[in-house]
Structure 1
Amino acid sequence: MSGPATIDAFQAEADTRRWLERAVIGLNLCPFAKAVHVKAQIHYAVYLPADESGLMDALLAEANELAALDAAVRDTTLLIAPNTLADFLDFNDFLGRAERKLSRAGFDGVFQLASFHPQFQFSGTEPDDIENATNRAPYPTLHLLREDSVSRAVEASPEAEAIFERNIETLEALGPDGWAALDVGPGSARP
């Protein structure tokens, strides 16, 4: 009996772009995403193997590459891992290790690491609570953000601290059916 189908790099990137455009930018879940998207300053990296240690190495390589480039060329990186860390608790544990590894590699204060996962669940919520959708992407995704860019964006936005609450209101108004209608899950961006 064969295992679950693996996702190829083209599909993973296409699905992630669709999610970014329809959900993150379309619903304005991150008011800072549109500018870097329009300027093509987002790098999409896809890690295909089902190997956590290799994913850690890929994350460090992406951090080094991002650090070597000017923000005007590449401001942020989405590292998509469609074939590994399918369990959210495993992903969450990996995220803690990844933050420590980035810090030990000298990126503390240089990058923030945000995370998205198809089963993302905030502490104290039920799996089906709509607010979890704010951090749900088609595949496990690690997001490297430049601290300087985040600081500038927050300073320029007087209501940055209200983003989370506004996102919850947006998703509650949208509801589960509205979220499903966005069609931003795995395999949604078909050629």
Structure 2
Amino acid sequence: MPLSTLSSAAAADQTDEAIRAETVRWLERAVIGLNLCPFAKSVHVKGQIRYVVSRHASTEGLLEQLEVELKALAETDAEVVDTTVMICPHAPQDFTAFNDLLTLADLTLASLGLRGMLQIASFHPNYRFDGNEPDAIENYTNRAPYPILHLLREASIDRAVAAVPDAADIYERNEATMRALGHAGWKDLWKP
């Protein structure tokens, strides 16, 4: 099945395990397979990624679950769980509306006193970098099968960045990778 934007109704018909499996497939083929994030492979191989499927559709429900997941990650040894991928198939499918949720997510992080310890990254089926056209291939570096709130440890990011030469150039390399791949190559990633 090609990586695609699924409606909330379509996601409702999928099991949590199917949603997790599609997310892991995206991680393995795009994020790790294209080396979009050189830090992802290590935690994936070690089984240190916690995948959580949120069935909440309301902003309040999503933020309540986010609070629980932020606290859990902060209280868990990084050797056990280094990062959490909160998959939110019922979050806004409109990217602008999802960005509004991200603002509230960041406020939740701050209200818990976890800023500087944890951070939240995001992925979305309709991700769009500011200034890009909606279908610009560069947007696909952050496109995922579902809206995702990715909870990361600052200390782990610092260690990973120190271990990767030219970490500051990752963004530019990712854009070049996507331009070389093109839309046809992106579609080919999802062939069985």
The TM tier, using the shorter chain, reads over 0.9
Alignment of 1:34-113 (within 5 A): 34-113=41-120
* Structure 1 stretches lacking a partner, 5+ long: none
TM-score (norm 1): 0.92
Equivalent residues, number? 183
Look up the SS of the partner of 1:4 in the other structure. Answer: helix
Q: Which runs of 4+ in 1 moved over 3 A?
A: none
Equivalent position to 1:121, from 106, 128, 147: 128
What is the CA distance between 1:26 and its match in structure 2?
A: 0.3
Look up the SS of the partner of 2:50 in the other structure. Answer: strand
What is the CA distance between 1:86 and its match in structure 2?
A: 1.1
Alignment of 1:136-155 (within 5 A): 136-155=143-162
CA-atom RMSD in angstroms: 1.4
What is the CA distance between 1:4 and its match in structure 2?
A: 2.9
- Distance in structure 2 (CA, Å) of the matches to 1:4 and 1:82: 9
TM-score (norm 2): 0.92
Are 1:12 and 1:46, in contact at CA under 8 Å, matched by a contact in 2? Answer: yes
Whether 1:166 and 2:166 are equivalent positions in the alignment is no
- Distance in structure 2 (CA, Å) of the matches to 1:121 and 1:150: 23
Letter in 2 for 1:130: I
* Structure 2 stretches lacking a partner, 5+ long: 1-7
What is the CA distance between 1:84 and its match in structure 2?
A: 2.2
